[in-house]
Amino acid sequence: MNTIGYIFRLTTFGESHGAAIGGVIDGCPSQLKLDFDFIDKELDRRKTAQTSTASQRKEPDRIEWLSGLLDGVTLGTPIAFMVRNEDCKPADYEALKDVYRPSHADFTYEQKYGLRDWRGGGRASARTTLPIVVAGAIAKQILKGKGIQIVAEVTEMGDAEQAKNEGDTVGGIVECRIISAPAGLGEPMFGKFSAELAHALFSLPAVKGFEIGDGFALAKMKGSEANDTFINKAGRITTPTNHSGGIQGGISNGNDIVFRVAFKPIPSIAKPQKTVNRAGDPCEIAIEGRHDVCALPRAVVLVEALAAMVTVDMERLAR
């Protein structure tokens, strides 16, 4: 369950403060000359500290490539990579070892596994999304060769500066657009393009909503308002409106695939909160330290990455 994809598949591993975070990409086409600069740029987009909304943690994120490449060209064999967790200060987290932080995964992981890596969120840390950026960057490179682009942006976000002063955090919405994907991608029934996107996006921490096209707004429309009529535009059948978000019956119709993802506020807040510890005793915590006020700026590249991975997979299955 730490693997995503059918043909283009990513398996990730790593805890926030274990030895390393990394992934194995299986099913990447051979003979692709990887654009390492682009991968680094994508990683920079995820990196901390670049804006006032993000935390101060320094993550050099230097990728070590372990396999699957010969002189920077893909061999068709698994591409393994990792980033060492250099900035490891478990002592910072000692105080939280026995406390269940509200709306974190501390309690649920312990319920599931009987133990958890309490150092910085362990496997549930946002840091574990790093391999997704790497796989997404490679997926984007594959898509580029097919003329397909992925572009996301923050379309809604709370007032981060104010929240910061209050020791609070904010959530928001990221909108993503898959541009120039051909019609006919996606599988009917249980492999719908929309379903695969929803599944992938809900893999990100803090995601609590996903909608495609006009999404929840469609629930308030009439059929005559919601339908996308077909026209013949210079010999190409298309729809001038795009309430459907480019997907009909689970399959792409050639229009932009447009979806939105809702992120809850980061649960680590400096404001004091009541909670309980492992023994069930009430206690109060104030989560100090290097934490973002808002995950949204970092999340944009993650949303794009997962969209790219799903698109590569759908394209591959449609052959």
DSSP states along 92-160? HHHTTTTB--TTSSHHHHHHHHS----STTGGGSGGGGHHHHHHHHHHHHHHHTTT-EEEEEEEEE--H
172 interacts with a second copy by CB under 8 A: yes
Tell me the closest approach of the beta carbon of residue 42 to a second copy, in angstroms: 20
Phi, psi of 112 (to 5 degrees): -80, -45
Tell me the closest approach of the beta carbon of residue 242 to a second copy, in angstroms: 11
Would you give the binding string for a second copy spanning residues 194-233, x where CB under 8 A is met? xxx-xxxxxx-x-xxxxxxxxxx-xxxxxxxxxxxxxxx-
Residue 179 in contact with residue 256, Cβ under 8 Å?
A: yes
Would you give the binding string for a second copy spanning residues 277-296, x where CB under 8 A is met? ---xxx--------------
Residues in the chain: 319
Q: Which of 92, 264, 289, 290 binds a second copy (CB under 8 A)?
A: 264
Tell me the closest approach of the beta carbon of residue 191 to a second copy, in angstroms: 3
Phi, psi of 212 (to 5 degrees): -120, 145
If the CB atoms of residues 150 and 198 are measured against a second copy, the closer one turns out to be: 198
CA distance 237 to 45: 37
Taking CB under 8 A as the binding criterion, the range among 33-41, 54-62, 141-149, 269-277 that sits at the site for a second copy is 269-277
Residue 196 in contact with residue 314, Cβ under 8 Å?
A: yes
CA distance 199 to 259: 13
- Within residues 23-42, the interface with a second copy by CB under 8 A covers 24, 26-27, 30-31
If the CB atoms of residues 37 and 220 are measured against a second copy, the closer one turns out to be: 220
Residue 136 in contact with residue 116, Cβ under 8 Å?
A: no
If the CB atoms of residues 137 and 295 are measured against a second copy, the closer one turns out to be: 295
Quote the DSSP letter at residue 114: S
Taking CB under 8 A as the binding criterion, the range among 8-16, 33-41, 42-50, 51-59 that sits at the site for a second copy is 8-16
Phi, psi of 155 (to 5 degrees): -110, -10
- Within residues 133-162, the interface with a second copy by CB under 8 A covers 156, 158
User: Measured in Å, how far apart are the chain's first and last C-alpha atoms?
Assistant: 26
- Within residues 46-85, the interface with a second copy by CB under 8 A covers 64-70, 73, 75-80, 82
Tell me the closest approach of the beta carbon of residue 44 to a second copy, in angstroms: 23
C-alpha dist (Å) from residue 226 to 192, 216, 251: 20, 12, 17
CA distance 42 to 133: 7
- Within residues 80-119, the interface with a second copy by CB under 8 A covers 80, 82, 100, 102-105, 107-109, 111-117
Tell me the closest approach of the beta carbon of residue 174 to a second copy, in angstroms: 9
If the CB atoms of residues 63 and 179 are measured against a second copy, the closer one turns out to be: 63
Tell me the closest approach of the beta carbon of residue 55 to a second copy, in angstroms: 14
Tell me the closest approach of the beta carbon of residue 1 to a second copy, in angstroms: 3
